[in-house]
Structure 1
């Protein structure tokens, strides 16, 4: 895993640093890095799950894996820091462009739920929410960053330990786990909406060119 990440990082630097980017086209690189960081977290969860359900788990092996995972994350942060440093410097991109990316996602969160608010938040009318009215509210911002959740969910389900569903205790634990995930999803959604609502005034200053940014 460490070798794959290192090779991928060198490939990213070679393919992106020496290209010309504008503030709007740089969004695709930022979105890809966000998705990659979340996928690394999922990989770490799967590795931890495999170690926890092993026949004879050892504390030394778990500590070794955790140290490797921390090294991978630190390497990712360092490489991305250097990459974006060069991209922003040599393309003369203002650091405020990253704030504009956040405003785009906040607009997706708010306008997907309350379409009538667009004339108050973005009166120019050039901002388009992708697939509004077709997908769930939470799915619209994920489309903007190019995240596909189905492969990750399938991989995690495939790595879950085999259990006997005929046992009542197993059904109770499964129900409690589902309820915990459901409550976490609702609370996280409320927190995101509250975060976007507090910063809704910043959407008025968003440049029109950022309304069409999208992931690869």
Structure 2
């Protein structure tokens, strides 16, 4: 047990450090006045296209790529939120209209580039591997089924996170580190209402988490009901091969 705990702690520390350095690199690129951000976007997107586009890809591999893209977008959203928090709470003396426009332009360029690269990548993969676009509906159905099934387990959404390869603890540690170092010093916690403010903030995030969980579960249930029926039962046998696919499962001697 002690060895398992030590290994888990070491992995969590290493993973959090990787995410921290990625967030720092993105923050430096956004706040730089040179073309560092453009260079970073071109290098990352070119590597992503070269890695996935020119490979033989089955439906299982495409499922892994889709899950990886979803996790990547969520991580990118967290990085942008961290940069925004640093900009508001640390560089608030530089909060001018011109600086705000510059940061907004950088955020927009990052989001547009990420969406365009994903579209191009998936268009090439589905075109050259002769896959129909409705394969993404099967991916959605499988994830919705996992979400609906997880509502009856002791660890909600654990199956969905495992299938998508999403590890929330490192991101949580990164958020705690950033918000603890950047936001808390700016708050008047020494005031008598400081503990009350922390309690209300914690309750707000708990309520937000509960609301998001209910919304995701409701969407999954409605999607399953809409796509149910005889047609869905006929496709069940075809989907069974995809149901055993995880983010880091070895499919065709490769992991996408």
Q: Where on the TM-score scale, by shorter chain, does this alignment land: which range?
A: 0.7 to 0.9
Q: Deviations over 1:81-104 (max 9, x none)?
A: 111110000001111111111111
Residues 51, 62 of structure 1: 8 Å contact kept = no
- The answer to whether the aligner puts 1:112 opposite 2:150 as a matched pair is yes
Residue 24 in 1 paired to residue 43 in 2? no
- Of residues 66, 70, 86 in structure 2, which corresponds to 1:50? 86
Q: CA RMSD in A?
A: 1.8
Indicate the residue corresponding to 2:209 in structure 1.
185
SS at match of 2:247: coil
> For 1:124-156, what per-residue CA distance to the aligned partner results, in whole angstroms no more than 9, with x for missing partners?
xxxxxxxx65xx112321221111112212222
Change (3 A) 1:58 1:166: closer
Alignment of 1:1-216 (within 5 A): 1=26, 2=37, 3-53=39-89, 54=91, 56-59=93-96, 60-114=98-152, 136-160=155-179, 161-163=183-185, 165-201=189-225, 202=227, 204=233, 205-206=235-236, 207-216=239-248
Structure 1: gaps of 5 or more residues: 115-131
Q: Which runs of 5+ in 2 are unaligned?
A: 1-25, 27-36, 249-256
CA distance change for structure 1 residues 146 and 191 in 2, over 3 Å: closer, same or farther? same
Runs of 4+ residues over 6 Å off in structure 1: none
Offset at residue 15 of structure 1 (A): 1.1
Q: Any conservation in 2 of the 1:17–1:87 contact (CA below 8 Å)?
A: yes
Preserved contact between residue 146 and residue 215 of structure 1 (Cα < 8 Å)? yes
Name which of structure 1's ranges 80-89 and 143-152 shifts more when overlaid on structure 2.
143-152
- The range that moved more, 156-165 or 47-56, is 156-165
What TM-score comes out, normalization by structure 2 length?
0.71
With over 3 angstroms needed to count, the CA separation of the structure-2 counterparts of 1:63 and 1:139, relative to structure 1, is: farther
Q: CA deviation at 1:190?
A: 1.1
Distance in 2 separating the partners of 1:55 and 1:11: 35
In structure 1, what is the Cα distance between the partners aligned to 2:177 and 2:149? 36
C-alpha contact (below 8 Å) 2:151/2:157 kept by paired residues = no
In 2, Cα distance between equivalents of 1:185 and 1:146: 20
Name the CA shift for 1:184/1:111 in 2 (closer, same or farther; >3 Å): same
Partner of 2:254: none
CA contact (8 A) 1:110 1:193 kept: yes
Larger relative helix fraction = 2
CA displacement 1:153-189 (0-9 Å, x = unmatched): 2222221224365433221221111111111111111
Q: CA deviation at 1:112?
A: 2.2
TM-score normalised by length of structure 1:
0.84
Distance 1:85 1:170, change over 3 A: same
